[in-house]
Amino acid sequence: SRPVLEIKGLDVDYGYGPGAVRAIHDVNLTLGRGEVLGLAGESGSGKSTLAYGLTRLLPPPGVITGGEVLYHPRDGGPAVDILGLDEAGLRAFRWAETSIVFQGAMNSLNPVHKISTQLTDVIKAHEPDSTQAQRLVRARELLRLVGIAADRLESYPHQLSGGMRQRVMIAMALALEPQVVIMDEPTTALDVVMQRQILRQLVRLREELGFSVLFITHDLSLLVEFSDRIAIMYGGRIVEQAPSGAIYRDSLHPYSDGLLHSFPALHGPRRELTGIPGSPPDLRAMPAGCAFAPRCPKAFDRCATEVPRLGPPDGHPDRSVACWLHPTAS
Ligand code: ATP
Ligand code: MG
């Protein structure tokens, strides 16, 4: 079926001219309608840069230097390139079409305003003709959706737990019924039990409301459990992409293997946690070949000299990998 978002050949740099470093390289990624797509990778792999880039929220000195981000509107009309929208177009787009819950978002609620004000302000900005009474009804309904009692509308952020503040952020993100909700590690600051609860709730809401989710985390175990597909990033590139079950059962990229062994097995006997020796590449001194080669237990000569292209490996049309162990058809 028709996807909702198609990222094509996206490049993002930090800085300009000779001092620029490339943080996102030629990223191609498609978000299906109603799909939960997980994006994983170690710290510094470019996950947030990708999320900010595709929503045009990249802080300076971040610059998008190439590619397109096609958004398919719900009315079936022609696709819109988000990268080509002007300020007015972007204002209409944000919250209503695509909303984003930032890393550390639960601390970004305004401390001096009640929850009711913050929720109704989001609605008011996009629906100026609505009445405050209508907006309050919506705000109450939104809190119910995320499992918070309506009397919490009268609370200030400091009166809520971290988990509740996170749910309020999710309620705000859903306020205008967007087609796409992006969550950038919304749960790292919360305990593991809370992380699971919030993700489970999000997946349930997705089924109820029909939006798509791009969920960013370095906790692959959460993604294996809750997402339909997983994309793995390393050094600013997608290195593998596949249905979650396929990643869990037989990941093809040695980096994905490394990430999978960095968390305890979901089912069956516990595996030893090894982590990945070495550290992520320095953007200012990227290896000439595969960025993972210096840390890769399976690297061979070619890996040090040529960057592998992302593509479907033999016999797996529904997955893609960028690794010389699995040359692609092209
Ligand atoms: P984390 O898991 O820690 O959130 P991430 O995958 O979201 O990491 P990004 O924050 O997107 O990674 O960073 C990607 C790369 O871009 C890193 O090497 C980082 O150092 C670099 N970077 C991020 N912001 C800037 C900036 N403002 N100026 C220069 N480089 C930056
Ligand atoms: Mg990040």
Closest residue by CA, ligand 1 atom 18: 44
β-bridge pairing 320-321 and 237-243: antiparallel
Going from the Cα of 12 to the center of ligand 1, the distance in angstroms, rounded, reads 11
* CATH code for the domain of 246: 3.40.50.300
Statement to judge: residues 248 and 193 lie in one domain: yes
Atom of ligand 1 nearest to the CA of 49: 11
- Tens of pLDDT, residues 48-104: 999 999 999 999 999 999 999 999 999 899 999 999 999 999 998 988 999 998 877
**Which residues contact residue 213 at a Cβ distance below 8 angstroms, ignoring those fewer than 6 apart?**
35, 36, 37, 180, 181, 182, 183, 202, 203, 206, 227
In a domain, 298, yes or no: yes
Statement to judge: residues 172 and 289 lie in one domain: no
Tell me the C-alpha distance between 69 and 186, whole Å: 23
Closest residue by CA, ligand 1 atom 30: 14
For residue 66, list its beta bridge partners. 11
Statement to judge: residues 146 and 166 lie in one domain: yes
Query: 115 or 274: whose pLDDT is higher?
Result: 115
Statement to judge: residues 122 and 171 lie in one domain: yes
Check if 229 has its Cβ closer than 6 Å to any atom of ligand 1.
no
- Tens of pLDDT, residues 214-236: 999 877 888 999 999 999 999 99
In a domain, 326, yes or no: no
Statement to judge: residues 75 and 183 lie in one domain: yes
Statement to judge: residues 315 and 173 lie in one domain: no
Statement to judge: residues 147 and 188 lie in one domain: no
ipTM of this predicted structure: 0.99
pTM equals 0.92
* Nearest alpha-carbon partner for 202 in 166, 247, 161: 166
Mean pLDDT over the full length of the chain: 90
- The number of distinct structural domains making up the chain is 2
Tell me the C-alpha distance between 55 and 82, whole Å: 7
**Which residues contact residue 265 at a Cβ distance below 8 angstroms, ignoring those fewer than 6 apart?**
271
DSSP type of residue 41: -
In a domain, 271, yes or no: yes
In a domain, 328, yes or no: no
- Among 133, 148, 177, give the residue marking a domain's end: 177
Check if 52 has its Cβ closer than 6 Å to any atom of ligand 1.
no
Going from the Cα of 44 to the center of ligand 1, the distance in angstroms, rounded, reads 5
Mean pLDDT of 274-300: 92
In a domain, 327, yes or no: no
Tell me the C-alpha distance between 50 and 90, whole Å: 17
Closest residue by CA, ligand 1 atom 4: 43
Statement to judge: residues 227 and 82 lie in one domain: yes
Statement to judge: residues 89 and 194 lie in one domain: yes
Statement to judge: residues 223 and 185 lie in one domain: yes
In a domain, 233, yes or no: yes
Q: What is the pLDDT at residue 60?
A: 95
Half-sphere exposure (Cβ direction) of 110: Cα atoms closer than 13 Å: 11
Statement to judge: residues 184 and 311 lie in one domain: yes
Domain, as residue range, for 143: 106-177
Joined tokens for residue 263: 């968390």
Going from the Cα of 39 to the center of ligand 1, the distance in angstroms, rounded, reads 15
Mean pLDDT of 193-214: 85
Cite the DSSP H helix spans in the chain: 47-54, 87-93, 115-126, 132-145, 162-174, 192-209, 220-226, 244-250, 254-260, 301-305
Atom of ligand 1 nearest to the CA of 59: 27
- Residue 236, number of CB atoms within 10 A of its CB: 26
